[in-house]
Amino acid sequence: MTKSWGGGSSGRRTVLITGVSKGLGQALAIELAKHGHSVIGCSRSQDMLDSLCSLLSSSNAANSPHLFLNVDVVSICFSFTVIFPFPSHRLTTFGYSGCHFDSPFVLWQRSDSSAEELARVVMDKKGVPDIIVNNAGTINKNNKIWEVPVDEFDAVIDTNLKGVANMLRHFLPPMIQRKRGIIVNMSSGWGRSGAALVAPYCTSKWAVEGLTKSVAEELPEGMAVVALNPGVINTDMLASCFGNSASLYQAPDAWAVKAATMILNLTGADNGASLTV
Residues forming the active site: 201
Q: Give the span between the Cα atoms of 270 and 273, in whole angstroms.
A: 6
C-alpha distances (whole Å) from 130 to each of 127, 136, 146, 172, 202 are: 9, 18, 42, 11, 29
Give the amino acid at 75. S
Write the CA distances from 155 to 53, 162, 165, 269, integer angstroms. 27, 10, 15, 34
Assess contact for 11 and 264: CB atoms under 8 A.
Answer: no
CB burial readout 183-205, b (16+ within 10 A) else e? bbbbbbebbeeeeebbbbbbbbb
Task: Give the residue from 51, 83, 3 showing the smallest Cα distance to 266.
Answer: 3
Q: Report which DSSP code applies to 3.
A: P
For helices 199-216 and 163-178, the axis angle rounded to 10 degrees is 20
